[in-house]
């Protein structure tokens, strides 16, 4: 059973549909006991960092997420769900993130000819040992929608990068905690393979 955390932030349905398509048993929930009883947990997200942290606090999900990370249950953050795992974001100054991983979320720098938000397909470069990317060819394209990007403090956790105005840490892995800035559920066959790799952990 994979639990998708429902905190009123975005792309729950598309993540659920992709996992059901892969034959996975899925539940969308914000119930603490259900989340802790699941085999794996996904934190999706679309929207602003500050609003999302507010919702996680309102629904008493902050400690639940930290507990999932602490007890070693496979956990995947997607898009805003990646950003929330870190300490802070330029988008919402003064608001603390979950702080499960070390690093910060920065505004994508303005660059002539590049639109922000970054919306569309970009290729990934892999470090070579990311478990989410098993069987995925180098320079595979995935779908991004974001105005802010991760700069991780621990470079060894970065498993995929992409270039858009700057070097973006596009996916991280540390122990049982995984996260992607891009949307695997909107990234065609490549994205489905990434989700299947997570489901198979």
How many residues appear in the chain?
A: 201
CA dist 63 and 65 (Å) reads: 5
Residue 17, phi-psi category: left (phi > 0), alpha (psi -120 to 50), beta (remainder) = alpha
| C-beta separation of 170 from 162 below 8 A | yes
pTM of the prediction? 0.96
Quick check: 171 pLDDT over 90?
yes
Q: Choosing from 118, 146, 169, 183, which is the catalytic residue?
A: 183
What does DSSP assign to residue 110?
A: P
Mean pLDDT of 12-17: 94
Question: Can 79 be counted among the known catalytic residues?
Answer: yes
Q: What are phi and psi of 167, to 5 degrees?
A: -80, 120
Q: What percent of the chain clears pLDDT 70, i.e. is strictly above it?
A: 100
Q: Choosing from 16, 24, 79, 118, which is the catalytic residue?
A: 79
Q: What is the CATH number of domain 2-199?
A: 3.40.50.880
Is residue 123 very low, low, confident or very high in pLDDT (cuts 50, 70, 90)?
very high
Question: Can 183 be counted among the known catalytic residues?
Answer: yes
Question: Can 91 be counted among the known catalytic residues?
Answer: no
In the prediction, which pLDDT does 36 show?
98
In the prediction, which pLDDT does 127 show?
82
Task: Report residue 171 as tokens.
Answer: 């996916």
């Amino acid at each position: 059973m994979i639990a998708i955390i429902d905190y009123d932030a975005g792309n729950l349905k598309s993540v659920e549909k992709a996992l059901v398509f892969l034959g996975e048993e899925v539940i969308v929930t914000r119930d603490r006991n259900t989340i802790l009883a699941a085999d794996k947990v996904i934190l999706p997200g679309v929207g602003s960092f500050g609003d999302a942290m507010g919702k996680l606090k309102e629904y008493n999900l902050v400690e639940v997420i930290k507990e999932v990370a602490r007890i070693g249950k496979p956990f995947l953050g997607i898009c805003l769900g990646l950003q929330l795992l870190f300490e802070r974001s330029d988008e919402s100054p003064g608001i603390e993130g979950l702080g499960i991983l070390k690093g910060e979320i920065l505004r994508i720098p303005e660059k002539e000819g590049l639109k922000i938000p970054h919306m569309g397909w970009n290729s990934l470069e892999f470090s070579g040992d990311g478990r989410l990317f098993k069987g995925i060819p180098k320079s595979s394209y995935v779908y991004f929608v974001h105005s802010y990007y991760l700069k991780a403090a621990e470079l060894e956790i970065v498993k995929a990068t992409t270039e858009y105005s700057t070097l973006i840490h596009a996916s991280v892995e540390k122990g049982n905690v995984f996260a992607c800035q891009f949307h695997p559920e909107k990234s065609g066959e490549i994205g489905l393979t990434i989700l299947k790799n997570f489901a198979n952990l």
